[in-house]
C-alpha cells in the first residue's frame, strides 16, 4: 500500500482554503487505498472538530501527527501561521525515518517553518502546492535576492510544482525558474449544492446576504458592513449573515444602531457551512487580495449569485454569468451591485444557475 505524508501549517481547527485542500486531498487519497498521514502543528489546546462525510467509506481515513505549536503572524494583509517548538528538526527527521513515506506532499513549501523544514529534510519524492499570491516589496526583493540560489535548489527538489492559480505563479516567477502546473482548488459538490436545505432560523420574510471568511483586513468585512448600511437605507427587507471570526465588538459598532438587529454574527462555522450558503440570496465577497477564493467556489456550487471585488485571484475564477465584480474598498460600489440583485429576482436566479455547472465541469468534486 503506497504511503503519503502531507505537511501543512494549516489544519483544523484553523479554517480556510489550505485546510480544506489538505483535508479533501487526504480523504480522497485514503479512499483510493493510500495510507495517509497529515503532519501539522497544534493550533489550540482543544481537540479540533474534523468534518464528517456521510458518503465517506469507513476505510477512507487518515492519521494526524501534530508537532510544535502554531502561532499567528501578520503578513500580506492576513494572519498567517508558523510552527515553533523545541527540536522541530529532530522530530521531523524521526517522523520521516519511522514512517518511510513513498511520497511527501508539502503545502506552501517555501514558507517557514514546518513546510520549509519538511522540504529540506525529505529524502523521498516531494510534491509542493503553492497557495499564496503576494505583492513584491522591499522585503521580498531583499530576502529572495539574498537566498535565491539556495531557494532555487529547494524548488528544484520538487518533483511537481503545483499552483492553485496563475496568480500564485506570478510573484515567484520574478525570482525563480519554475516548472508550474495549475491544479485549482476543488469543492465537494455532494456537500455544496442547490439541494442543501436552508437554515430555518432565517425566514423568508427578508432576503439574506452572506459573508464568509476570517476577519483579516484583506477580506473586507469593514467594507461589507459599511455597504450594508447603504443597502439597508434603500432596501428594508434584507439581513446580513456573517460567518467567520474572531467576532469583536467594533464590527457590530460599524453598523448603524437602527440596522443592528438585522446583522447576525454566527462565528466560525464548519459542518453547517453548506446550509448557510443555501440560506442566502446573494453571496458577498469584498476581498482586497486573493490567490483563488474557495468561498466563491462554494457559493457557485450552491447555486448562488455572487458580488465580489476585483482582485488578481478572483479575476481568474469569476465570469459575468455568475457574478458582479466591483472595485475594491468601495462600499458604495458593493452596495449598488447588491441592490441590483436584491431588486431583480430573475437576475438572481440567472446568475445563480450557472455556478453548479461550472463547479462540476472545471473543479474536482
CA distances (Å), 94 to each of 35, 87, 98, 99, 164, in order? 18, 10, 6, 8, 31
Is residue 355 in some structural domain? yes
**Does residue 245 share a domain with residue 143?**
no
Q: Are 164 and 116 in the same domain?
A: yes
Residues in the chain: 365
Rg of the chain over all Cα atoms, to the nearest angstrom:
21
Among 90, 92, 122, 93, CA closest to 105: 122
Quote the DSSP letter at residue 313: H
Regarding whether 141 and 80 lie in a shared domain, the answer is yes
- Structure confidence at residue 271 (pLDDT): 87
**Domain range enclosing 25:** 3-182
Tell me the pLDDT tens digit for each residue of 207-229.
999 999 999 889 999 999 999 99
Q: Is the pLDDT of residue 176 over 50?
A: yes
Q: Is the per-residue pLDDT at 82 higher than 60?
A: yes
What is the separation of C-alpha 257 from the centre of its chain, rounded to a whole number of angstroms? 32
Whole-number Å distance between alpha carbons of 306 and 320? 10
Helix axis angle for 294-301 and 345-362, nearest 10°, is 110
Average pLDDT, the chain: 91
- Answer yes or no: is pLDDT of 365 > 70: no
Cell matching residue 235: 432596501
* Domain identity same for 241 and 174: no
- Pick the more confident residue, 139 or 253: 253
Reference 167, options 331, 287, 333; nearest CA is 287
Q: CA-CA distances (angstroms) from residue 118 to 71, 83, 107?
A: 18, 12, 10
Assigned domain for 201 exists: no
Of 149, 182, 215, at which residue does a domain stop? 182
Of residues 37, 69, 228, the one with CA closest to residue 220:
228
Query: What sign for the dihedral angle of Cα 112, 113, 119, 121?
Result: positive
- Please determine, for residue 272, whether its predicted confidence score (pLDDT) is greater than 80: yes
Q: What is the pLDDT of residues 299-347, one digit of tens each?
A: 999 999 999 999 988 988 888 888 999 999 999 999 999 999 999 999 9
Note the pTM of the prediction, 2 decimals: 0.91
**SS3 helix, strand, coil % of the chain, rounded to 5?**
40, 20, 40
158 and 19 co-located in one domain: yes
Contacts for 118 with CB less than 8 Å, ≥ 6 apart: 7, 39, 92, 104, 106, 109
Question: pLDDT tens digits for 125-173?
Answer: 999 999 988 877 667 778 888 899 999 999 999 999 999 999 999 999 9
Q: How many domains does the chain have?
A: 2
Confidence check: pLDDT of 253 > 50? yes
Q: Which of 118, 147, 182 is the last residue of a domain?
A: 182
Cβ atoms of 80 and 72 within 8 Å: the answer is yes
One domain, residues 174 and 213: no
d(CA 94, CA 23): 24
Amino acid at each position: 500500500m503506497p504511503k503519503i505524508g502531507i505537511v501543512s501549517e494549516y489544519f483544523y481547527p484553523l479554517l480556510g482554503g489550505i485546510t480544506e485542500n489538505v483535508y479533501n486531498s487526504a480523504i480522497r487519497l485514503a479512499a483510493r487505498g493510500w495510507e495517509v498521514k497529515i503532519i501539522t502543528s497544534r493550533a489550540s489546546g482543544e481537540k479540533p472538530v474534523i468534518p464528517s462525510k456521510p458518503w465517506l467509506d469507513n476505510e477512507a481515513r487518515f492519521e494526524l501527527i501534530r508537532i510544535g505549536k502554531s502561532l499567528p503572524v501578520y503578513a500580506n494583509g492576513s494572519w498567517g501561521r508558523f510552527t515553533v517548538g523545541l527540536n522541530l528538526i529532530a522530530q521531523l527527521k524521526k517522523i520521516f525515518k519511522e514512517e518511510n513515506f513513498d511520497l511527501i506532499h508539502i503545502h506552501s513549501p517555501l514558507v517557514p517553518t514546518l513546510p520549509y523544514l519538511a522540504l529540506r529534510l525529505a529524502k523521498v519524492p516531494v510534491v509542493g502546492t503553492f497557495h499564496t499570491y503576494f505583492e513584491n516589496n522591499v522585503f521580498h526583493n531583499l530576502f529572495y535576492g539574498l537566498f535565491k540560489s539556495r531557494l532555487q535548489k529547494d524548488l528544484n527538489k520538487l518533483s511537481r510544482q503545483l499552483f492553485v492559480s496563475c496568480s500564485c505563479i506570478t510573484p515567484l516567477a520574478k525570482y525563480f525558474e519554475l516548472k508550474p502546473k495549475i491544479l485549482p482548488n476543488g469543492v465537494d459538490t455532494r456537500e455544496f449544492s442547490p439541494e442543501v436545505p436552508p437554515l430555518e432560523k432565517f425566514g423568508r420574510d427578508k432576503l439574506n446576504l452572506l459573508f464568509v471568511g476570517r476577519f483579516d483586513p484583506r477580506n473586507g468585512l469593514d467594507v461589507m458592513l459599511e455597504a450594508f448600511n447603504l443597502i439597508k437605507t434603500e432596501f428594508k427587507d434584507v439581513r446580513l449573515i456573517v460567518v467567520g471570526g474572531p467576532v469583536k465588538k467594533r464590527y457590530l459598532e460599524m453598523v448603524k444602531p437602527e440596522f443592528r438587529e438585522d446583522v447576525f454574527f454566527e462565528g466560525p462555522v464548519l459542518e453547517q457551512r453548506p446550509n448557510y450558503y443555501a440560506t442566502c440570496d446573494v453571496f458577498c465577497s469584498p476581498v482586497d487580495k486573493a490567490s483563488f477564493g474557495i468561498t466563491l467556489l462554494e457559493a457557485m456550487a450552491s447555486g448562488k449569485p455572487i458580488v465580489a471585488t476585483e482582485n488578481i485571484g478572483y479575476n481568474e475564477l469569476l465570469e459575468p454569468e455568475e457574478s458582479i465584480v466591483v472595485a475594491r474598498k468601495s462600499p458604495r460600489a458593493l452596495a449598488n451591485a447588491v441592490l441590483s440583485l436584491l431588486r431583480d429576482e430573475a437576475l438572481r436566479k440567472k446568475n445563480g444557475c450557472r455556478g453548479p455547472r461550472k463547479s462540476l465541469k472545471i473543479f474536482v468534486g
